[in-house]
Amino acid sequence: MNVRSLAAPALLALACYDYSAPSSVVNGAVVLTQFDQTANFGAYKYYAVNPTITVVDATGTVQTQCTVDGTPLLPTIQQQMSARGYVQVDFAAPGQPQPTPPPDLQITMHAALGSQDVYYPGWCYWYPYYYCYPGWSYAGSYSFGTLVLDMGVVKGLSQGEKIPLIWTNANYAVLASYYTGCNSNGNAVNWQKISDAVVRAFDQSPYIQAAP
């Protein structure tokens, strides 16, 4: 797996002429997928998607958790799963009546938001007997956001049992515009950017295929 860092070029450019930090990570997105190599994706037919996104927001001084509406992303997931032969059924929260037929797979969405401080090397401070001690100066901070999709097997599970995951997709730098986190109404989310990343995730996961 090749993952290219987006931060290094930005820091190099920063060192050349500007000592301010970018406000957010917006150039490109890294899409990571991992799967259980023992899983038989063809053994499942029906799936459900939890339409809410659980958000862990560490952009402030105190980490918070909330949920936001993820329905704008559902058409992309539905299109990708349908193209692979899976049939969607309604999502039922724990304690609610299950649909008929019940889902074999469940897809859930999570988001992690945070910020990163940026420092640049400053002057050397002279200390007797210790030669030159380098100092670092604060340049600012930038925000980042990652959306994670988890696919787990719920077929045959009883209420309260842990859901075994067979596929995970992490989309880095797709929620940069959502840096206000749990205090935002979601209007700043670039859903097209997230959707494009999810399509890439399915494209690089050809093993997700229902039996004919």
User: Would you state the structure tokens that stand for residue 17, as one six-digit string?
Assistant: 């002429």
CATH label of the domain that carries residue 144: 3.30.160
Residues in the chain: 212
- Res. 76 pLDDT band, cuts 50 70 90: very high
- Res. 3 pLDDT band, cuts 50 70 90: very low
- Give the model's pLDDT for residue 183: 63
pLDDT tens string 45-54: 999 999 999 8
**pLDDT, the chain, mean:** 75
pLDDT tens string 32-65: 899 999 999 999 999 999 999 988 887 767 777 8
Residue 131 lies in a domain: yes
Range of the domain at 114: 40-203
Residue 20 lies in a domain: no
In angstroms, the CA 204 to CA 192 distance is: 19
| pLDDT beyond 70 at 176 | no
As for how many domains the chain has, the answer is 1
Residue 47 lies in a domain: yes
| pLDDT beyond 90 at 178 | no
Residue 30 lies in a domain: no
Entry pTM: 0.73
Residue 8 lies in a domain: no
Which comes out higher in pLDDT, residue 143 or 25?
143
Residue 199 lies in a domain: yes
pLDDT tens string 89-134: 999 887 788 889 999 999 999 888 876 555 554 444 444 444 444 4
Residue 90 lies in a domain: yes
Residue 16 lies in a domain: no
Other CB atoms within 10 A of residue 126 CB: 9
Closest CA to 151 of 41, 1, 8, 11: 41
